Amino acid sequence: MEYTLASTVNSTSTRTLALYWGAVASVALLAAPLAPRAAAMAPPCLFRAITGLPCPTCGATHAVVALSHLDVAGALVANPLVTLAGLAFMVGGLVGGAAALLGRPFAEPRLGQRARVALIAALGANWIWLLAGQFAR
């Protein structure tokens, strides 16, 4: 992706947001060893308890715990969308935070119509993956 002068953002609010994002990503990395303990306190999925089927976010806790152990393959099996979103959040936060700290210009993320449709399709595909895993057992 090429950055042009028009797409480069140096506004204070965008830089502040990048710093917050970087701080949250950093704290999440530092807190990763606590993920298994926090997961043990998470409530069970209400949708699954009622229907017996996984919801679109089922497996998210298992995916986060697997990521905290650097088990990307296990996280992808548990919930591919949460895994990819979590990795994107961490990388984006660390890169954005570092760019803001260094005073570097960076492109402001914008979601176009195609990206919105792709996200909805990804959520649907993720749910199909989880349902297929349920029926494969």
> 8 has which bridge partners?
107
Residue 94's domain comprises 9-136
Q: How far apart are the first and last CA of the chain?
A: 42
Task: Report the run of H or E that residue 124 belongs to, with start and end.
Answer: helix 113-136
The answer to whether residue 91 is domain-embedded is yes
What's this model's pTM, rounded to 2 decimal places?
0.79
Alpha-carbon gap, residue 28 to 23, rounded angstroms: 9
Q: Averaged over 1-19, what is the pLDDT?
A: 64
The answer as to whether 119 is a domain residue is yes
Domain membership flag for residue 27? yes
CA–CA distance, 59 with 94 (Å, rounded to integer): 25
Residues 131/52, Cβ–Cβ less than 8 Å: no
Classify residue 3: in a domain, yes or no: no
* pLDDT tens, position by position, 31-76: 999 999 999 999 999 999 999 999 988 999 999 999 999 999 999 9
